[in-house]
């Protein structure tokens, strides 16, 4: 049987992992797809560099045209990263009737729609399982496994770096800066960690998940995003005391009326929530379906081999489709128009930590602001602070609309009795939606 030829764009750790898996599992792959899989051309930045895998130098090239315009190549695996130029390369490859497997979340979050439409027009597949939660087959679970359900909520710990940092801060009581430094030394965080710690990486993944899960195009600009740079060890201490664990959580929620919100922010979860025990660099996606109820998918979010495994699984799916002549037929365009919730429709509990003057009547002054907006408290904690004359007040509210909550914060800031609003986090309530 004629082999299937692959063109690989990029030969970093993930690209090397793909080559290793294709070589080591050739027998199993032949058993699954009925023909050998051969890597034909590999785009690299530099020809002479030492490699983690032994590879025939003749198949390396620094010219992308030799891959995307190569008539012998059936499938392009894109692991080079980048957005604008990479999109152009892949569109060109699609016009050349090549199928695409990509791990590029930045690309898929922004141009996923465009690429999928082009692919559909050209009878090509675009698979992107590895773009979200590297080793977890969440994309195909949403596409196939939960296809007959109506998904109400997707919550994801989809960034390993920040989950590692928050886990260490919680377990060892360390400060953010110290853990970040350690994570950088260990290679868990990049030298420039902004995209991770500011939540952008997680936001991109939530765009991909929400678009798919709700069958509605969501844009990156629609995701209200807050990172973990302002989280401090005191917050984590109080969270623990109140029975919560802090996670950088992506939340995508739709109501009965099909209005959607998507956000990423440090969030307190009750300890019994399935996501609360997802630690260190692990990722997990929690899916609440109307019929199925609670499910969760857990695994490594990154790493060369987990990511490469997802890529090769996608490759197997593409090759099976090729053998069956059905490429491009599984892509389903979003069913719903974009329909985002307004701030008065987004409901949540909140954790709020305040430094107030330790005087008679202060607490009642604070509570009266909440009462004005019909918001009551679930938990209250008041302690003296070292600084004389100040009280530390921690409250967890019952559900409030985002609009009301933001107005409450504004009013509190104006109160004479309040010295500082130290921190404020979203709290996810019970385990179900």
Residues carrying an active site annotation:
205
| Residue closer to a copy of itself (CB basis): 50 or 291 | 291
C-beta of 67 vs 136, nearer to a copy of itself? 136
Rounded to the nearest whole angstrom, what is the least distance from the CB of residue 27 to a copy of itself in the complex? 8
Query: Looking at beta carbons only, is 227 or 289 nearer to a copy of itself?
Result: 289
Q: Which residue, 258 or 420, has its beta carbon nearer to a copy of itself?
A: 258
CB of 77 to a copy of itself, least distance (A): 12
Name the minimum Å distance from CB 81 to a copy of itself: 21
Q: Using alpha carbons only, what angle is made at residue 63 by residues 58 and 68, rounded to the nearest 5 degrees? A: 95
CA 83 to chain centre: 17
Cβ nearer to a copy of itself, comparing 54 with 148: 148
Residue whose CB is less far from a copy of itself, 142 or 189:
142
- Taking the complex as a whole, the smallest distance from the CB of residue 98 to a copy of itself amounts, in Å, to 20
In Å, how far are 164, 183, 282, 319 from 186, measured between CA atoms? 11, 5, 16, 38
- Closest to a copy of itself by CB, 19 vs 91, is 19
How far apart CA 131 and CA 198 sit, in angstroms, is 19
Structural contact between residues 394 and 242, judged by C-beta atoms closer than 8 angstroms:
yes
CB of 432: closest distance to a copy of itself in angstroms? 11
CB of 431 to a copy of itself, least distance (A): 10
Whether residue 17 contacts residue 103, with contact meaning beta carbons closer than 8 Å, is answered with no
CA-to-CA distance for 325 and 58, rounded, in angstroms? 31
Are 153 and 288 spatial neighbours (Cβ–Cβ below 8 Å)?
yes
Binding residues (CB under 8 A) for a copy of itself: these are 17, 21, 25, 28-29, 31-32, 129, 135-137, 140-141, 144-150, 215, 272, 274, 277, 279, 282, 289, 291-300, 303, 305-306, 308-310, 312-313, 315-317, 320, 324, 326, 329-330, 332, 335
Q: Minimal distance in Å, beta carbon 410 to a copy of itself?
A: 39
Report in angstroms the alpha-carbon separations of 333 from 61, 85, 121, 221. 35, 24, 12, 20
């Amino acid at each position: 049987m004629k082999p299937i030829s692959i063109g690989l764009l990029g030969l970093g750790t993930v690209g090397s992992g793909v080559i290793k898996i294709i070589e080591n599992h050739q027998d199993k792959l032949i058993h699954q797809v009925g023909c050998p899989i051969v890597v034909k051309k590999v785009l690299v930045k530099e020809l002479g560099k030492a490699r983690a895998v032994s590879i025939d130098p003749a198949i390396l090239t620094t010219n992308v045209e030799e891959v995307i315009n190569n008539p012998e190549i059936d499938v392009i695996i894109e692991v080079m990263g980048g957005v604008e130029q990479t999109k152009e390369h892949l569109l060109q490859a699609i016009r050349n009737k090549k199928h695409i497997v990509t791990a590029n979340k930045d690309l898929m979050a922004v141009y996923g729609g465009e690429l999928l439409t082009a692919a559909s027009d050209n009878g090509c597949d675009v698979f992107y399982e590895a773009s979200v939660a590297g080793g977890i087959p969440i994309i195909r679970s949403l596409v196939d496994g939960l296809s007959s359900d109506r998904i109400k909520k997707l919550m994801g710990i989809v960034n390993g770096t920040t989950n590692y940092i928050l886990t260490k801060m919680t377990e060892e009581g360390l400060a953010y800066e110290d853990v970040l430094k350690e994570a950088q030394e260990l290679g868990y965080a990049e030298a420039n960690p902004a995209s991770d710690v500011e939540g952008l990486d997680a936001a991109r993944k939530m765009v991909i998940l929400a678009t798919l899960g709700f069958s509605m195009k969501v844009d990156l600009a629609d995701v209200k995003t807050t990172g973990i740079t302002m989280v401090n060890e005191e917050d984590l201490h109080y969270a623990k005391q109140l029975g919560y664990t802090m996670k950088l959580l992506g939340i995508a929620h739709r109501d009965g009326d099909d209005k959607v919100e998507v956000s990423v922010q440090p969030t307190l979860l009750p300890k019994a929530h399935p996501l609360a025990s997802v630690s260190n660099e692990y990722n997990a996606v929690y899916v609440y379906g109307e019929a199925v109820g609670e499910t969760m998918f857990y695994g490594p979010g990154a790493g060369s081999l987990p990511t490469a495994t997802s890529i090769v699984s996608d490759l197997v799916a593409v090759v099976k489709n090729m053998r069956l002549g059905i490429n491009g037929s599984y892509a389903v365009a979003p069913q719903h128009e974009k329909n985002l919730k307004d701030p008065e429709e987004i409901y949540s509990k909140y954790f709020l930590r305040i430094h107030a003057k330790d005087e008679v009547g202060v607490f009642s002054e604070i509570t009266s602001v909440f009462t004005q907006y019909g918001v009551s408290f679930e938990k209250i904690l008041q302690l003296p602070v070292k600084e004389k004359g100040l009280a530390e007040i921690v409250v967890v509210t019952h559900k409030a609309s985002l609009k009301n909550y933001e107005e409450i914060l504004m009013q509190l800031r104006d109160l004479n009795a309040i010295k500082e609003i130290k921190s404020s986090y979203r709290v996810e309530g019970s385990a179900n939606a």
